[in-house]
Each structure stands twice: as C-alpha cells, then as structure tokens.
C-alpha cells in the first residue's frame, strides 16, 4: 500500500483514535503520543492492511489496548491530568465557563465509571459507533453492551441530577 492510499484509509478516523486515547489517558499530550504510536504501528502493517475487513475497528482496538497497557505500565504514575480547554470566541464568557464546567463534570463522572462502562459509553455516545461495531471492538455480546451502556447512562444521569439539584430534594 502506497502512502497516499494509506492516508486515504487512515486519516478519516484519526480524530476518533485521538478522542478514544484522550478519554482513556486524560492527558492531551499522552493522547497525542498514543495516537502517533498507533499511526506508526498501522504504517508498519500497511502491507498486510488489505487483509483486515475493517481497518477502523482494528485501529480502535489497537488504540484501546495501547492505552490500557500504558495505564498499567510504570509510566502511568507520570501521567498528568490535563483537561481539554473548550474555547469558542462567538460565545459569551459566562457560556464558555458553563461549557467548561459541564465538560469537566462529564469527564469526572466518566472517569468514575467502571472501565467497561466508560469504554461503551465513549464508543456509543461520543464516537457514535453501532452496537455491532462495539460488540466487535470490546469482544462483548450485544446484551452485555446494552446493559453496560444502560448502567453507564444511569450513573451519569444520577450524578448530573445530584450536581444540578445542589442537594435539594
């Protein structure tokens, strides 16, 4: 596979790889490094890439495994928590702060979820994957994916209700 072919296959889902790495590693710098590593690994496998039915699913699985290995390694103790900055010049400062606060709350809530629920929620609600694709990526049965997603959404909903009710009710 030539470089141009490789880029046309890989570039459409490069941002998804980054978002998944960011969700797992939290740090923007670590996520960028992980994405680069995965792209290099994909390039190293470019000759055999035609054998894969779904290159995107293969790359997402590689990213998931790479990030989980990274978290388990000794280097995990060196990871810094650096949250993404939400900036949009067309919004008011108050709306921008509210958006940053909401993003921060969602990140904190998602970090508290069990690993499987966090991954399923990320893949379904953020990355917009189909249930069949999630089943293949996570090596789970459809029922297990639906249960994990339901539990994750319920936990997120309960935590957001707690946050927004300010202890009232």
Which positions ≥6 away from 125 have C-beta within 8 Å? Answer: 149, 153
Model confidence pTM above 0.95 = no
- What are the phi and psi torsion angles at 34 (to 5°)? -65, -45
Number of domains within the chain: 2
Beta carbons of 117 and 106 less than 8 angstroms apart: no
87-96 pLDDT, tens digit per residue, is 445 557 777 7
Evaluate whether residue 86 is within a structural domain. Answer: no
Shared domain check, 57 and 109: no
Are 48 and 111 in the same domain?
A: no
155: containing domain: 94-165
For the record, the structure tokens of 141 come out as: 């049965």
Quote the tokens at residue 43: 């390039």
Question: Residue 12 maps to which CATH number?
Answer: 1.10.1740.10
CA dist list (Å): 1 to 33, 38, 43, 49, 51: 24, 17, 9, 8, 12
Residue 81: CB atoms within 10 A of its CB come to 9
Shared domain check, 99 and 129 = yes
pLDDT tens digit sequence for 124-137: 888 888 889 899 98
Q: Of 76, 104, 133, which closes a domain?
A: 76
């Amino acid at each position: 596979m030539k470089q141009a072919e490789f880029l046309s296959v890989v570039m459409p889902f490069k941002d998804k790889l980054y978002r998944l790495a960011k969700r797992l590693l939290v740090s923007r710098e670590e996520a960028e490094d992980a994405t680069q590593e995965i792209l290099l690994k994909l390039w190293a496998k470019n000759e055999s890439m035609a054998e894969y039915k779904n290159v995107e699913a293969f790359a997402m699985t590689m990213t998931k495994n790479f990030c989980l290995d990274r978290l388990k390694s000794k280097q995990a103790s060196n990871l810094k928590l650096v949250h993404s900055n939400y900036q949009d010049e067309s919004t008011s400062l108050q709306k921008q702060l509210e958006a940053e606060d909401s993003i921060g709350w969602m990140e904190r809530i998602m970090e508290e979820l069990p690993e499987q629920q966090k991954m399923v929620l990320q893949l379904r609600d953020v990355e917009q994957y189909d249930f069949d694709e999630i089943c293949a990526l996570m090596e789970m049965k459809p029922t297990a994916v639906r249960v994990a997603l339901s539990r994750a959404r319920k936990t997120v909903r309960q935590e957001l209700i707690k946050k927004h009710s300010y202890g009232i009710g």
